[in-house]
Amino acid sequence: MKTFKKISLFLLIIFYSTSYSQELETILLAKDDAQKLTKAYLNPSFKGLIFAMNNGWYHTAKVHKKFGFDISIGANFATIPNEEELFSIAELELSNNTITTNGATSSPTVAGSNSISPAQFQYSTQIEGQNVSANFTMPTGIKEDLPANTIPAPAIQVGFGLPFKLDLIIRYVPKVGSEDVKTDIFGLGIKKEITELLGPLDKTPLHISILAAYSNMGVNYEIGNVNNDVSTQNASANFSLNTYTIQAIASLNFPVLNVFGGIGYNGGSIRLNMLGNYTLNYNTSINGAPDVEESITDPFSIKTSSGSINATIGTRVSLGFFKLYGSYSLQEYNTINAGIAFSFR
């Protein structure tokens, strides 16, 4: 597949390999059912990105001194539950116009294995009084191409020490990419240390803080012609991810080895808009009759959200200004974070 698998992989990791042959765009032939099928296929990547992008905001509860700063370069990996590798066709409640032709009751999601045969469908309708139909096949999964069956996301950020025991944390990636695919990332977090409010604890290695953060990622993909079944004009796929997290965090800060953890809530939402003009080609029931075309504009808009209480435990090794850290978060999609940091003051 081309466009949607490019988008799927792009959502999973920036600039990931996109050489696939089967075309998910042909799902547009199912018209009203296309949105349900597309959402079911992509849903694990949507949810995984929400949890992955929300991770990695901290590796200590201790804030910088005023005008201190750190640069953290890390990656998050959201693990995909096994039950998310397939979706049930019956649960989608497709219209009577869309039926399976290979007897499948389920089909792989984007997180499924490419060794599992996907569902095949036939969509039938009437156009200008003629009975027409089109056949299409759902794409296979890309489990074997994912790193340990996880959904990765970058965690590159800068933290600045402010007055009043505050840290300002910024994530920023300008619009980058190729001629047909571009992405940008922006995130903002505030960490407030409250150790001194808890009496004598401020004389110990224990530090306690509250963290709140928000991030956004946008992806835009220009869609060219798909095949003889679907052609396009000024077509694009627009993806927007918004995430937020609220955490109570604590750390034990020793000269070399630090231990940190937190508990809180991660949430977010995703919107995928298919924009532009699409021409769909359908076969007629009359032998030798030409195909019938139908044009649609802005086929669908998918919006989904997810959230979960989470608990994190991690450790950090400090070698002067150089830090090496890692953590594990328990939540709906358990997440691993690892990275390095350069911290001053």
Rounded Cα distance, 5 and 1, in Å: 6
The tens place of each residue's pLDDT in the chain, 345 residues long, gives 444 444 444 454 433 333 333 356 788 899 889 999 999 998 998 999 999 999 999 999 999 999 899 999 999 999 999 999 999 999 999 999 999 999 899 999 988 988 999 999 999 988 888 888 999 999 888 888 888 888 888 888 999 999 999 999 999 888 776 777 788 899 999 999 999 888 777 678 999 999 999 999 988 888 776 667 788 888 888 889 999 999 999 999 998 999 999 999 999 999 989 889 988 888 887 665 677 888 889 988 999 999 999 999 999 999 989 999 999 999 999 999 999 999 987
* CB-CB contact of 149 with 334 (8 Å): no
- Residue 211, both tokens: 């963290």
pTM of the model: 0.85
Per-position DSSP letters for 61-103, written without gaps between them: SPPPPTT-EEEEEEEEEEEPPGGGSEEESGGG---TTEEESS-
Rounded Cα distance, 312 and 327, in Å: 7
Kind and range of the H or E run holding 46: helix 32-53
**Residue 140 pLDDT:** 87
**Residue 32 pLDDT:** 85
Q: Looking at the DSSP assignment, which residues form a beta bridge with residue 243? A: 215, 268
For tokens 């992989």, the residue is 9
- Residue 91, both tokens: 């649960």
Q: Are strands 98-100 and 335-344 parallel, antiparallel or unpaired?
A: unpaired
**Residue 64 pLDDT:** 93
Kind and range of the H or E run holding 148: none
Rounded Cα distance, 106 and 88, in Å: 5
- Other CB atoms within 10 Å distance of the CB of residue 100: 15
Q: Is 319 exposed, middle or buried (0-12, 13-18, 19+ CB in 10 A)?
A: exposed
